Amino acid sequence: MHANYLGGSTMPRQIVLAARPSGWPAPDNFTLVEADSQPLEEGQIRVRNQFMSVDPYMRGRMNDVESYVPPFQIGQPLDGGAVGEVVESRSDAFSPGDLVLHGLGWRDEAVLDAARARKVAPIEGLPNSAFLAVLGMTSLTAYVGLLDMASFKEGDAVFISGAAGAVGSIAGQIAKLKGASRVVGSAGSAEKVEYLRSIGFDAAFNYKDAPVAEQLKDAAPDGIDVYFDNVGADHLEAAIGSLRNFGRVAMCGAIAVYNATEPPAAPRNLALAVGKRLTLRGFIVTDHMDRMTAMVTEISEWLREGKLSYQETVVDGLENAPEAFLGMLRGENTGKMIVRL
Amino acid sequence: MHANYLGGSTMPRQIVLAARPSGWPAPDNFTLVEADSQPLEEGQIRVRNQFMSVDPYMRGRMNDVESYVPPFQIGQPLDGGAVGEVVESRSDAFSPGDLVLHGLGWRDEAVLDAARARKVAPIEGLPNSAFLAVLGMTSLTAYVGLLDMASFKEGDAVFISGAAGAVGSIAGQIAKLKGASRVVGSAGSAEKVEYLRSIGFDAAFNYKDAPVAEQLKDAAPDGIDVYFDNVGADHLEAAIGSLRNFGRVAMCGAIAVYNATEPPAAPRNLALAVGKRLTLRGFIVTDHMDRMTAMVTEISEWLREGKLSYQETVVDGLENAPEAFLGMLRGENTGKMIVRL
């Protein structure tokens, strides 16, 4: 089975970290290498990856800083969410042909302990990439951030930055579906602003057009109750200015900061959090896997009913994964950025 | 009774806001005026104030900005916490001689609806000013901030800024009494640092001696779990840097910011809140009056047992209240700043 899959002489390829970026990463921070196919140990499975995820948090892992996930190592393959088909198994839990979700992306072929993979059932009408996005960590991030971290409740006015991104576009739709009084999104192009309106955002603006604080005040003149932060810095400052008393911020990411070489001077108005009684909560989705079932149940229902739409930007080929990652950091994707392998 | 109390010709005095400060307030922002004694309406009481409170939040009320409390008005008397004796009553709920706590400080004599006063019983061995501080809003602020906002739990390492102030010195002692693994305080003079050590802080430093971040790292080399913020800006930035995963910040005040004419550039590292899963919560003690009984019960017990010490800086005379307020903003008090009338 294994030899067959490899088609004889083809060696599995992977992307390794060639050098740590300072500021914005570039193609030469990555190298595509071929690697000997690893023999399976007892309890392991071999997976032919079909899709892999590129996500903003990976930028942080390229720095040599201990964080909630260990940093990538120079000369070692990158990793991240992936979905693929089991092609060889030395575990009773999996058989060849099974579709599995796991954490060894950035490579054609993954060898891992069976315990680190989760079997998923393909869903008619959805590509398998959905398990990386609308039925996976992307939607879980949106769901947990909005409902648990920001304690969203019916009637709240919500602002979402990076709203045309994978997480933001789902978060905004969940807010609408759960009775938000108003959902405002920011994004980085006119096309994305149009996309946000098309999926039900009440207002959307291009943050490059004018200061965020001004545009947010126009878009939500009565203020906001919840801010879902994917950007940080000036977006967060604008949100703090617009938040009403007892407002909540889910701090999901800070893409404005990831590639900065100087720390941002914003938000400069954080002291307003005292008088407004604001709560700001940073979170990492992997702490909240216990919410996966609830999320999948609700999101599946909305998908079936045609109430929730989602978009993927798909790039083909492992060799183009670094470019897909860089493009995602530059905001070239609408919805989830996916690499098809 | 009333005529007798006023001693014939003496008119009650009050401090009015003469002009709004820009940046640091100065004595000429205040005027001491005499006012006609107001006749009582049905349901009202007249109180001869014994002690009044000067607090950092009052600085915010001097700006013409709608906040959680309305701004002071130019030409109108200031107000704030006070304790005094009922000298005349047209309410069944109070009799002359009753000691009451109310919100009309900054004046010799207060006339108010009985519903806005709370009767308190003098406590042997404690001056009546205690109801403004160690058995009043000061301790309630410390109690709610530490226990409810920062969700302090046994074993936490705690950092408190403005620790020699009224709220900070109580917060630090509550943390120790409830089993903190380490309590670190910052203050603005060597004497205050010494005071903090004398009341049980494990470490204390003068923030003027060196950058806060450096001193905090030395004082809590393993990091902190809870930060009780009275200062904001660079203190908050240092705390965010030292907070461990799942750390909590009670945002109680931002005295570094109140008199600033430029917004502070700190904290510049707020994006760390995502990876560290930090929670920052701003709060206003008056939202939490339901916790008063629990606080008084615990604090009284500790006072009786000699486990909790507190200090007041007492200034005599209404005419010196503006100077007491300014001195408090400059950090000249240790413990609660009180004006005796």
Per-residue model confidence as pLDDT tens digits over B213-268: 999 999 999 999 999 999 999 999 999 999 999 999 999 988 877 777 777 877 99
Q: Which residues of A touch B278 (CB under 8 A)?
A: 280-282
Residues 6+ apart with CB under 8 A from A61: A67, A69, A70, A71, A72, A78
Helix, strand, coil share of chain B (percent; to 5): 35, 25, 40
pLDDT at A2: 40
From the list B253, B264, B278, the residue facing A274 with the nearest CB is B253
Give the nearest chain B residue to A150 (CA atoms). B279
- CB within 8 Å: A257 and B271: yes
The answer to whether residues A67 and A286 touch, using CB atoms and an 8 Å cutoff, is no
- Residue A183 phi/psi, 5° resolution? -125, 120
From the list B269, B274, B280, the residue facing A253 with the nearest CB is B274
Q: Rounded to a whole number, what is the distance in Å from the CA of B197 to chain A's nearest CA? A: 28
pLDDT at A1: 34
pLDDT in tens, A267-283: 999 999 999 999 999 99
End-to-end CA distance of chain A: 19
Of the residues A269, A274, A280, A287, the best mutation for testing chain B's interface (the one with the most B CB atoms within 10 Å of its CB) is A274
Task: Read off the tokens for B208.
Answer: 């003027």
CB contacts < 8 A (A, B): 101
From the list B60, B271, B276, the residue facing A275 with the nearest CB is B60
Residue B226: which of B293, B165, B176 has the closest Cα?
Answer: B176
Distance CA B290, CA A233 (A): 36
The answer to whether residues B240 and B170 touch, using CB atoms and an 8 Å cutoff, is no
Amino acid found at B104: L
Distance CA B28, CA B169 (A): 31
Q: To the nearest whole number, what is the mean pLDDT of chain B?
A: 93
Residue A325: which of A140, A72, A144, A111 has the closest Cα?
Answer: A72
Distance CA B66, CA B228 (A): 25
Task: Read off the tokens for A273.
Answer: 């959090």
pLDDT at B2: 41
**Chain center to CA of A322:** 16
- CB within 8 Å: A274 and B252: yes
- CB within 8 Å: B281 and A278: yes
Q: Which residues of B touch A286 (CB under 8 A)?
A: none
Cis peptide before B267 (omega within 30 of 0): yes
The answer to whether residues A191 and A213 touch, using CB atoms and an 8 Å cutoff, is no
Distance CA A73, CA A18 (A): 9
Residue B108: which of B23, B32, B184 has the closest Cα?
Answer: B32
Ranges in chain A, pLDDT < 50: 1-9
Q: Which residues of A touch B274 (CB under 8 A)?
A: 251-254, 282-284
Distance CA A244, CA B22 (A): 25
Q: Rounded to a whole number, what is the distance in Å from the CA of B210 to chain A's nearest CA? A: 21
Task: Read off the tokens for B17.
Answer: 């806001």
- CB within 8 Å: B274 and A254: yes
pLDDT at A96: 98
pLDDT at B6: 43
Helix and strand tally (H, E) in chain B?
A: 11, 15
Domain architecture of chain A: domains with CATH: 2-132+311-340 (3.90.180.10), 137-286 (3.40.50.720)
Residue B336 has pLDDT above 60, yes or no: yes
pLDDT category of residue B37 using cuts at 50, 70 and 90: confident
Q: Which residues of A touch B273 (CB under 8 A)?
A: 251, 280-282
Q: Which residues of A touch B277 (CB under 8 A)?
A: 68, 281-284, 287
**Chain center to CA of A210:** 26
Maximum Cα interatomic distance, chain A, rounded to a whole number of Å: 68
ipTM of this complex? 0.86
pLDDT at B125: 84
pLDDT in tens, B41-88: 999 999 999 999 999 889 989 998 877 778 999 999 999 999 999 999
Q: Which residues of A touch B275 (CB under 8 A)?
A: 60, 67-68, 282, 284
- CB within 8 Å: A284 and B267: no
**Chain center to CA of A323:** 16
Residue B5 has pLDDT above 60, yes or no: no
Distance CA B316, CA B331 (A): 18
pLDDT category of residue B182 using cuts at 50, 70 and 90: very high
Mean pLDDT check: name the lowest of A67-76, A311-320, B14-23, B31-40.
Answer: A67-76
Q: Rounded to a whole number, what is the distance in Å from the CA of B44 to chain A's nearest CA? A: 31
Helix and strand tally (H, E) in chain A?
A: 11, 15
Q: Which residues of B touch A252 (CB under 8 A)?
A: 274
pLDDT category of residue B3 using cuts at 50, 70 and 90: very low
Q: Rounded to a whole number, what is the distance in Å from the CA of B279 to chain A's nearest CA? A: 4
pLDDT at A309: 92
pLDDT in tens, B189-202: 999 999 999 999 99
Q: Which DSSP category does B266 fall into?
A: -
End-to-end CA distance of chain B: 19
Amino acid found at A81: G
Q: Which residues of B touch A233 (CB under 8 A)?
A: 271
From the list A67, A253, A281, the residue facing B279 with the nearest CB is A281
- CB within 8 Å: B275 and A282: yes
Q: Which residues of A touch B283 (CB under 8 A)?
A: 274, 277
- Residue A74 phi/psi, 5° resolution? -60, 135
Distance CA A279, CA A259 (A): 26
pLDDT at A7: 44
Distance CA B95, CA B46 (A): 10
